[in-house]
């Protein structure tokens, strides 16, 4: 049967990227998405904004919601200091299998724990299952109608502390209006918008950075 797009993306990584070199994995995926097949990775332009926010926060404990093929997982994990950990949640088994291989090809498997399952099932289990008290940085890039409920769930589970940074992809395209209204109007968040473009296109999109105030 015909291969899937994530399978073809992984083949491009294994063909063009150097094992153990995260930057070459990032470049191989961006080249594939620009010149072969568009895919919903954050991409190089918004990815540079992600890099700058991660570097500024310098997090020990990171949560990513929605791994997909692992592109942003690699972007984040390559910047983490020794001992820092990234937990990424992906509930599609086929995508999780591809992402595992991409993460291994980048040589970042020691910093990343890919959990195959749904965010609403795993967010409540972070403390007892992973020994996580709170997260320093959370990247939201899963189903857009799940950003708000999962943010409220993280609050309720005590996983956010004064200063935790949430960074949300696609706040313009496809858009997350309920989440945006919440973080911009809530007294518990200081929020700001980073204007950019939808990955590999000229359409407007952007990232919203929201600091939890406790």
Which positions lie near ligand 705, rule CB under 6 A?
40, 66, 68, 89-92, 95, 118-119, 141-143, 146, 169-170, 173-174, 198-199
Active site residue 144: yes
* 177 contact partners, CB below 8 Å, separation of at least 6: none
Cβ burial, residue 35 (10 Å; 0-12/13-18/19+): exposed
Q: How far is the CB of 36 from ligand 705 (least distance, A)?
A: 17
What is d(CA 132, CA 95) in angstroms, rounded to the nearest whole number? 25
- From ligand 705, Mg ion, none, interface partner of 73 (C-beta below 5 to 8 A by class): none
3-state DSSP assignment of residue 183: helix
11 among known catalytic residues: no
**In the complex, what is the shortest distance from the CB of residue 169 to ligand 705, in angstroms, rounded to a whole number?**
5
Considering the candidates 170, 205, 208, 209, report the single residue annotated as catalytic.
170
CA 94 to chain CA centroid, nearest Å: 17
Of 90, 169, 205, 208, the one binding Mg ion by CB under 5 A: 169
Nearer to ligand 705, 78 or 142 (CB): 142
Instruction: Note if 170 is an active site residue.
Output: yes
With CB under 5 to 8 Å by kind, the binding choice for 130 among Mg ion, ligand 705, none is none
Q: Is 99 within 8 Å of 114 (Cβ atoms)?
A: yes
Kindly name the residue from 90, 144, 150, 209 that is annotated as catalytic.
144
Distance CA 73, CA 142 (A): 13
Catalytic residue ranges: 141, 144, 169-170, 199
């Amino acid at each position: 049967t015909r291969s899937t797009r994530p399978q073809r993306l992984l083949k491009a990584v294994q063909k063009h990227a150097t094992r153990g070199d995260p930057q070459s994995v990032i470049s191989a995926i961006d080249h594939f998405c620009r010149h072969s097949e568009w895919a919903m990775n954050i991409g190089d332009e918004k990815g540079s904004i992600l890099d700058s926010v991660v570097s500024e926060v310098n997090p020990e404990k990171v949560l990513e919601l929605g791994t997909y093929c692992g592109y942003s997982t690699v972007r984040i994990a390559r910047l983490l200091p020794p001992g820092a950990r990234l937990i990424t949640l992906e509930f599609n088994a086929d995508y999780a299998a591809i992402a595992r291989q991409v993460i291994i090809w980048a040589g970042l498997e020691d910093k990343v724990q890919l959990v195959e399952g749904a965010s609403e099932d795993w967010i409540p289990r972070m403390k007892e299952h992973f020994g996580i008290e709170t997260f320093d940085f959370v990247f939201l890039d899963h189903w857009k109608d799940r950003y708000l409920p999962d943010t409220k769930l993280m609050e309720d589970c005590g996983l956010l502390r004064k200063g935790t940074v949430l960074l949300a992809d696609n706040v313009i395209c496809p858009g997350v209006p309920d989440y945006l209204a919440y973080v911009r109007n809530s007294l518990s968040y200081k929020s700001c918008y980073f204007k950019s473009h939808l990955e590999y296109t000229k359409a407007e999109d952007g990232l919203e950075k929201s600091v939890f105030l406790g």
